[in-house]
Amino acid sequence: MSGQEWRLALTPHGLPGRLIAFDGVDGSGKTTTTRLTRAFLRSRGAVVRGFKLPSRELKRTAWFVRYNADPLGAGRTGDVDPVAMCSMVLGDRLLTVRRTILPLLRAGHTVVADRYLFTPLGELLVHGLTPRERSVVEPLVSCFPRPDLAVFTDVTADQAMARVRSRPAEADDALPPEVYVRRVAAFRALAESNEGVLLDTSLGVRETFRLLTPRLTARLP
């Protein structure tokens, strides 16, 4: 099942606030872009809250750590089932959405979410997706509000890998290039099929944000 076929059944939240979601492969510039976005929106008078998903509690679980170390290997051996993993990380995100994000939107605030629901769905596409697996995940997906703006930070797999390995703490990153290639393809497919903004961050920080600014301005409360 290709990402192009997966148009998500998301309903607008209908609240006075704005929900802006960022997704993309590690090394694609999400952190920098979300930080600039929060600063820009605040400079225009918006009350902004940022969230980085999933929760810290989930990130510390043994299966999450195992998967991050070797996504393809964990899936092949059955150490981590991709559909079960997707369901768990979606549930973790949904708890944050209902407990914290929706009340902020009701209050008219702007929420900037780093790694919204598209990230676990992209991870599922990395492993392939059967119609049956899709039918398992989609009811949970439909519980999420549609973001007012979905941004997918984008670079090539080689660029993403080089950026990750340039970080001092991740210089020995052992993920094979295939993981990056599959993740980049999955996010591009999800962006295309869900009216997302595919933002080429290889253009440099200044030019990248110049391209994004009009879309952010259009969504100011």
Residue 94 maps to a domain: yes
Tokens for 123, please give them.
Answer: 């991870």
State the pTM of this model: 0.94
Residue 131 maps to a domain: yes
What single string gives the DSSP state of each residue in the chain? --GGG-----EE--SSSEEEEEE--TTSSHHHHHHHHHHHHHHTT--EEEEESS-HHHHTSHHHHHHHH-HHHHHHHTSS-HHHHHHHHHHHHHHHIIIIIHHHHHTT-EEEEES-THHHHHHHHHT---HHHHHHHHHHHTTSEEPSEEEEEE--HHHHHHHHHTSGGGTT----HHHHHHHHHHHHHHHHHTT-EEEEGGG-HHHHHHHHHHHHHHT--
Looking up residue 48, the CATH number of its domain turns out to be 3.40.50.300
Tokens for 131, please give them.
Answer: 């119609």
Residue 220 maps to a domain: no
Q: Note the pLDDT tens digit of each residue in 65-122.
A: 999 999 999 989 989 999 999 999 999 999 999 999 999 999 999 999 999 999 999 9
Residue 68 maps to a domain: yes
Give the domain range for residue 109: 3-214
**How many domains is the chain partitioned into structurally?**
1
C-alpha closest to that of 155 among 120, 198, 216, 123: 198
Residue 219 maps to a domain: no
Per-residue pLDDT 10s for the chain (221 aa) are 444 468 999 999 999 999 999 999 999 999 999 999 999 999 999 999 999 999 999 999 999 999 999 999 998 998 999 999 999 999 999 999 999 999 999 999 999 999 999 999 999 999 988 889 999 999 999 999 999 999 999 999 999 999 999 988 877 778 999 999 999 999 999 999 999 999 999 999 999 999 999 999 998 87
Residue 105 maps to a domain: yes
Residue 17 maps to a domain: yes
Amino acid in position 212: L
Distance of CA 41 to CAs 17, 121, 214, Å? 12, 28, 12
φ, ψ dihedrals at 49, nearest 5°: -125, 135
Residue 145 maps to a domain: yes
